[in-house]
Amino acid sequence: MNFSELKEFLDLKAQHYQSQEFIEADPIQIPHRFSKKEDIEIAGFLAATIAWGNRTSIIKNATKMMSLMDESPHDFITNHEAKDLEVFNGFVHRTFNAEDLKYFVGALQNLYKNHGGLETAMSQDAAELGVQTALHHFKKRFFELPHQIRTQKHLADPLKGSAAKRINMYLRWMVRSSSTGVDFGIWESIHSRQLSCPLDVHSGTIARKLGILDRKQNDAKAVLELDNQLRLMDAEDPVKYDFALFGLGAFEKF
């Protein structure tokens, strides 16, 4: 395919996979259970944090997190005391355990009390074409409280070479327009043109097959290379192609 044919192909696939059927099998269903902005962004952040491995297990454990917070994540985050964190004892999703979750809940409380909330804390260092530096500074704010060093691995830092798939996916959820009913479009301080594609094994494999990614590793350099190609196709909304690349890999075995 030449460039125009490839763009047309990916545009059609992106449109196809932005549907209610996509939500039903994706962790994005967790924040879709809420209507309040703060509940949506907190539920989304925690669901995205554990979004690796089996998708059924991700959804099950993200659902459990919401249940442990009485289906009111913002209220729990902002008003909990140390003793309330005992409710998380025994929680585990792969290597993300109860102690990690307790720290994340405490760190989120700190962000809402002292940094203006998730949106402000994550967006204030965003550049015109990219949020990777902003994510680096967000991680420093997130871990400014006393914590176990091991917990840091659950929040990626693009400036240290990570593709940061889960946090880039989360930003897509929060920032992209809600016109198709999949993403939310509730964050206005970041624009879709600033977002990076959530690069994982599915999207990376398909991007290489289509000739829009040469780098072999799924890392920060590969994200930049892929972003540059996708922005040629749609400078204002390059991450819509995440739906196309992921769908072709996960569902069509392209």
Tell me the per-residue pLDDT of 187-238, one tens digit each, with 9 for 90 and over.
999 999 999 999 999 999 999 999 999 999 999 999 999 999 999 999 999 9
130: its two tokens = 């990219």
| Residue with the larger pLDDT of the pair 99 and 254 | 99
Whether the predicted pLDDT of 253 surpasses 80: no
Whether the predicted pLDDT of 20 surpasses 90: no
What is residue 78's predicted lDDT score, i.e. its pLDDT? 97
What is residue 22's predicted lDDT score, i.e. its pLDDT? 87
- The percent of residues in the chain predicted with pLDDT above 70, rounded, is 99
Work out the average pLDDT over 61-69.
98
What is residue 110's predicted lDDT score, i.e. its pLDDT? 98
188 vs 151: CA distance, rounded Å: 29
Helix, strand, coil share of the chain (percent; to 5)? 65, 0, 35
What is residue 129's predicted lDDT score, i.e. its pLDDT? 67
Burial 213-232 (b: 16+ CB within 10 A, else e): bebeebbbebbebbbebbbe
Mean pLDDT of the chain: 95
- Rounded to the nearest 10 degrees, the angle between the axes of helix 55-68 and helix 37-49 is 130
Predicted TM-score of the model (pTM): 0.95
What is residue 1's predicted lDDT score, i.e. its pLDDT? 84
Whether the predicted pLDDT of 128 surpasses 80: no
What is residue 245's predicted lDDT score, i.e. its pLDDT? 96
Which H or E run contains 97? strand 96-97
What region does 72 belong to: left with phi over 0, alpha with psi -120 to 50, or beta? beta
